[in-house]
Chain A
Amino acid sequence: MWQESVNIFVYEWLQLPREEKLSDALNFFIYDTVKILFLLIIIIFAVTLLRSYFSTEKVREYLSRKHEYTGNVLAALFGIITPFCSCSAIPLFLGFLQARIPLGVTFSFLISAPLNNEIAIAMLFGIFGWKVTALYIGFGLLVAIVGGIIIGRLGLEKEILIEVKPIEGEIKAEAQVIPFTTRLRDAQEYTLDIFRKIWLYVLLGVGVGAFIHGYVPTEFITSIAGADNPFAVPLATLLGIPMYSNAAGVMPLIEVLTSKGMLLGTALSFMMAITALSLPEAMILKRVMSLKLIAIFFCTVTLGIIGVGYLFNAIL
């Protein structure tokens, strides 16, 4: 329905010729930006509202009573619904350890939370639909669970640079009573805040995407990111690491690349590398953990993401 409206606007009102590169690109740009921004607002609002019912404190209380494995799975799951910002990574990391939550379980959470951030989820859903979003979340959980278990097994507790004093006795999260209207208002403010931050990136991303869509030949993309290149997955993963926090701008590009022959597993690896691994977060974490631990953390997640990409390309 929306596509038809855009068609009418571009081909009839603006009188641009059909099957032309310029009008195709413009059509694509209008269709995509409006669709993505619209879905972005709705999804971020819904996710924020839902998340206001889950606090890190409550999650910590719950996880402190779980053991390894079960703990890893639950920590990864909680990573989806708990609000998380990389600037809070340190207090969160230390707070979990204080509650005697095992290191590996803490890492499962630390991997899963940024991977499942609301912007990435909203962009994925808006662009690729629920199937790819579900695959992304599912494989993301797998990376978080397995990565956390591996880090936990390596016995790296001595690589934590700050002495963590465990909390004595039962860990209790204070229950906060927040009226629903306040939650609605908070979610609305937060959504607008995010929107102001990312709308330009979305426009830029879709703009470059529209250009590729109209001008770059499919054969070119296929030869780099398609089945012809066996190293496309690790290449995409390594490219994704420095692109942190630009999920909003990069996702529209990935859409175009997949429509031009990039394999979906490669695309998934690319997206996961963008969200899960962030160099600024590594810099923040350096204050509480040794470089060795950070390196192991990054390598484990990178290898996990590459594995997911190959696995997915092989299955499909």
Chain B
Amino acid sequence: MKIEILGTGCSKCKALEEATKQAVAQSGQFAQIEKVEDIMKIMEYNVMSTPGLVIDGKVVSTGKLLSVAKIVELIKAS
């Protein structure tokens, strides 16, 4: 599983990265976490409000700082 966090370095983006790390640890799944800061790459996902969360190439959330529990839910759903 590959999880990407899209964000150009705002405080919410960093917080989402932290929450995602915790969520992966809680879910017990193996996942590669990558922070995507390159604006061109973010645009390829068609995301206009950061932070964005992408799981296995699919955008699952935009413009929101998700709770750890919510991210665990999203990881389990995909």
Q: Answer whether A and B are interacting partners.
A: yes
Is there contact, CB below 8 Å, between B42 and A91?
yes
Interface size on A, residues (CB 8 A): 22
State the CA gap A83–B47 with chains docked (Å).
14
Is there contact, CB below 8 Å, between A94 and B10?
no
State the CA gap A57–B46 with chains docked (Å).
9
Contact of B40 among A60, A85, A162, A186 (CB under 8 A): A162
State the CA gap A167–B64 with chains docked (Å).
25
Minimum CB–CB distance for A5 against chain B, Å: 38
- A42-98 residues at the B interface, CB under 8 angstroms: 55-57, 60, 83-85, 87-88, 90-92, 94-96, 98
In the complex, chain B residues whose CB is within 8 Å of the CB of A96:
48
State the CA gap A13–B4 with chains docked (Å).
59
Contact of A186 among B10, B13, B49, B64 (CB under 8 A): B64
Is there contact, CB below 8 Å, between B48 and A56?
yes
Interface size on B, residues (CB 8 A): 17
In the complex, chain A residues whose CB is within 8 Å of the CB of B50:
87-88, 91
Is there contact, CB below 8 Å, between A87 and B43?
no
A227 interface contact, C-beta 8 A: no
Is there contact, CB below 8 Å, between B10 and A87?
yes
Is there contact, CB below 8 Å, between A91 and B10?
no
Is there contact, CB below 8 Å, between A288 and B49?
no
**Contact status of A57 and B48, CB under 8 A, knowing A85-B10, A90-B8, A186-B64:** yes
Is there contact, CB below 8 Å, between B48 and A95?
yes
Minimum CB–CB distance for A109 against chain B, Å: 11
Contact of B48 among A87, A88, A287, A288 (CB under 8 A): A88
In the complex, chain B residues whose CB is within 8 Å of the CB of A87:
8, 10-13, 50
State the CA gap A60–B62 with chains docked (Å).
15
| Closest chain B residue to A193, Cβ basis | B65
| Closest chain A residue to B59, Cβ basis | A174
Minimum CB–CB distance for A213 against chain B, Å: 35
Is there contact, CB below 8 Å, between A94 and B49?
no
In the complex, chain B residues whose CB is within 8 Å of the CB of A98:
43
Binding site for B on A (CB under 8 A): 55-57, 60, 83-85, 87-88, 90-92, 94-96, 98, 162, 167, 186, 284, 287-288
Binding site for A on B (CB under 8 A): 8, 10-13, 39-40, 42-43, 46-50, 62-64
Q: Name the 10 nearest CB pairs between A and B, nearest first.
A: A87-B10, A95-B48, A56-B48, A88-B49, A92-B48, A91-B48, A88-B50, A56-B49, A94-B43, A91-B42
